[in-house]
Structure 1
């Protein structure tokens, strides 16, 4: 649902911007070709036609692709929709675990868990979790990281 709302807001902003540009161009502009100045409605319709498949396909695709799992000593996260990213984070290497909520997430009762290691490449973000699941996951990761932490000295 989070990805659908984000896609819809992007769609509305893009088509709304196209409507504003079309209104700004109007029939009096001499810079644009004559066929366009007489048919400025084509701009928002074209923007909507190009973006509509993304609004429909992207949220479904991202939902199908995004996965996470916590095993005994590794957190696995898969994300992306055009390009995919698989991240395996050893629990013993976790330095911090943060929970975050944007205002869309808060309205939907969702949260994001950010797992950080000393290496940026080893860090991971799990977005769109139910708030209670995110809270339990963050607590469990912090507890396991403390138990499994290697002595670096």
Structure 2
């Protein structure tokens, strides 16, 4: 969950910084040339934008990790990798181990700082590909190796 919280905080921090910059630009522009009507009304209240973006960022940074943790699930059985994702509409994906072509382990810089990794399970079909994020790095490496060996063994049995 810390990984998702840090990602959300960085994204909303960037959005908030851009909103502050936009508000400063509009305020400076409005100071040189007064706008009338709706633009004048917006120019007078331009500093509400960064405050609203920052408030939304705080709320989303608090809610996003908890929600994602409650929704995202994965399970590996002897012959299927099961993942569930989604915020409002849920997606359940069952990937047969015999159809797995590659299993990749990835680490972004935030994941490296936290000792986490993501495994990406690829099949010939884009729709059949899946990923499991937020695993401890040693678990991800071990799971990727086991899935690759199991997929190899099952493919050999199938042909």
Query: What runs of 5+ residues in structure 1 fail to find an aligned partner?
Result: none
**1:39 and 1:93 mapped to 2: Cα distance?**
57
- Are the equivalent residues in 1 in contact too, given 2:119–2:133 (CA < 8 A)? yes
Deviations 1:55-74 (A, max 9, x none): 21111100111111111111
Aligned to 1:48: 54
Once residues 59 and 108 of structure 1 are traced to their aligned partners in structure 2, the CA distance between those partners, rounded to angstroms, is 15
Q: Is the 8 A contact 1:4 1:59 kept in 2?
A: yes
TM-aligned CA deviation for residue 105 of structure 1: 0.9
**TM-score normalised by structure 1 residue count:** 0.91
Deviations 1:19-69 (Å, cap 9, x if unpaired)? 001111114153463344334321111222333322211111001111111
Gaps (5+ residues) in structure 2? none
Q: Which has the higher helix share?
A: 2
Q: Deviations over 1:79-105 (max 9, x none)?
A: 222332211111111111110111111
1:30 equivalenced with 2:27 (yes/no):
no
- Aligned Cα root-mean-square deviation (Å): 1.6
Asked if 1 retains the 8 angstrom alpha-carbon contact of 2:13 and 2:57, the reply is no
TM-score by length of 2: 0.87
Please give the alpha-carbon distance, in whole angstroms, between the structure 2 residues aligned to 1:10 and 1:82: 21
**How many aligned positions are there?**
151
CA contact (8 A) 1:87 1:124 kept: yes
Specify the SS of the correspondent of 1:33: helix
